A and B are shown apart, each in its own frame.
Chain A
Amino acid sequence: MNHLDEGTIAELLDRGLRQADDRRAIERHLDACAECRTRVDEARHMLERARAILLQSGPADIEPPPFEQIATRAGYRRRRRWRPSRPLALAATAVLAIGVTWAAGEFVTWTPSPGEPAGVPAGGQMVPWVNEPAAAGSSMAQRVPPVAAAPETPPIESPPAVAPLAARDVAGVASGAGPGARAERLAAAPPPAAAPAGAQQRDAAADRTTEESRRAALGRAVLSEQAALPTLDDRGWTVVARADAERLLGGPVYVIEGLRIIDHAMRAVAPVAVRTRLALDDGAVIALVQSPRTDEAAPRAGQPAVSTGQPQVDLGEFRVTVSGPIPSDSLRALLARLRR
């Protein structure tokens, strides 16, 4: 047998050899070949060092979050996949409109004007067909059976009235879909603030997109029917992964450079917000609350605002407020270190 090549030695050490015969032949060769035994030892040393090097790149002691949290997210998404997408909904609306138009055509007949021959539509007046005897010679009227009344066509263009997001979420859970305890806690949460009338008309398309993304993120945690749900503390915050927090906001979550992130949480009642808790070196905890900026409360972008009494800053379309057990001046200084 020839000397062992590098790949074969690697397979031997990694137990990658598929055939037991191969292994036996190699072992017999190693018994007789000191050179190959040395190469195997060197390769083993290299393998152990590579594993040790990789091991120290961390992170160490990784604790997985509860499996139920993952299952909840996956379960919600699976149900959500059956929701019609917007193009599908538009297509369905178009088909419905065509169908309604056709049905309407079936339920009307032409009433000839005085002097016009029966069954000739040109110049006639179109009226609903309401269980009157069919006009002689009207083939359409002969096909259509008598009905009590034509079906009422719902308005296609106007969207259905949409309840506030949080209210719907609470109602959905409290109506028996979710565990009772959670429903009670959600129901006990403060009601959502009423939106200004003018705000509903503003940039409807963009708002709808943002709303959908927020709803998707909220829904994973709130609309679940499963027993195991993310923890919701008394103040209505649900701990979520950063990716979900960003989906909820529809933008990046800001943190303070140099401070350890404890967790991200979202608020399940309106207005939507994400809270990020950060640890200071002395163990104190500060909280950033980030929410979409409303126009009426918007000072110049990037300029600190103090209207609420807590240091806050506007970054792009978001407002970030900071609170914690340190002086306000220090909190304001930390705001200058906000990073995505």
Chain B
Amino acid sequence: MATDWADVYRKTYPDLVRFLHRKVWDPERARDLAQEVFVRALEHDPDDTRAWLFTIAANLARDEARSAIRRKQHLELLVTTIDRPEPPNPIERIEAAEQMKAVKAALARLSERDREVLLLWDAGLDYGQIASHTGLARTAVGTTLARARRKLVEAYDVGEGSHESLG
């Protein structure tokens, strides 16, 4: 059956942008890359759409990071590049930026594999897709994921986010 790409696009685009944003830490760049992923998807028309989209997104984000290093540009979180929508007042804007920094720092404390598994899980991929994407055995995904979640929470609590109440 032919893929309804308009539907896939509408449902997946936000997850894809969030996934990419946690890799490049630049909202505008994340949006650009997400659009590029869909352009490529339309060209290739893959079967397993969601897994394919996130695999390409991960590759693009990796290339992006490499080229950024080549250009000697640091992938710092730039508060001022946060485009739409912005929190309405400066205090909220600063708080949002601090939260993002805290999450970024917590994610940075995870191993690359744990981080990848965690982000793919958060993007909605199932265990089989995560295993296929990362090269892990399917039976190892649960253990890796549990460890990654625990480490993220611990790192976040130790870092700048320790004062935040997240339920």
Contacts and interface: CB of A to CB of B under 8 A. Distances in A.
A229 to B, nearest CB: 15
Interface string A72-90: 0111011000000000000
Interface in B50-99: 71, 73, 78, 80-86, 96, 99
A69 to B, nearest CB: 8
Nearest to A75: B42
Nearest to B95: A56
Nearest to B144: A7
Contact of B143 (A5, A54, A67): A5
**Main SS class of interface, A:** helix
Contact of A6 (B29, B80, B142, B156): B142
Contacts of B82: 58-59, 260
A11 B138 CA distance: 10
Contacts of A5: 143
A258 B78 CA distance: 8
A241 B32 contact: yes
Interface residues of A, number: 48
Nearest to A54: B122
A16 B9 contact: no
A65 B121 CA distance: 25
A241 B34 CA distance: 11
Contacts of B149: 46-47, 49-50
A286 interface: no
Contact of A56 (B28, B43, B103): B103
B20 to A, nearest CB: 10
B28 A261 contact: yes
Return the 3 tightest CB-CB contacts between A and B, nearest first. A7-B142, A74-B42, A7-B143
Interface of B: 5-6, 9-10, 13-14, 17-18, 21-22, 27-33, 35-36, 38-40, 42-43, 71, 73, 78, 80-86, 96, 99-100, 103-104, 106-107, 118-119, 121-122, 126-127, 139-143, 145-150, 152-153, 156, 161, 166-167
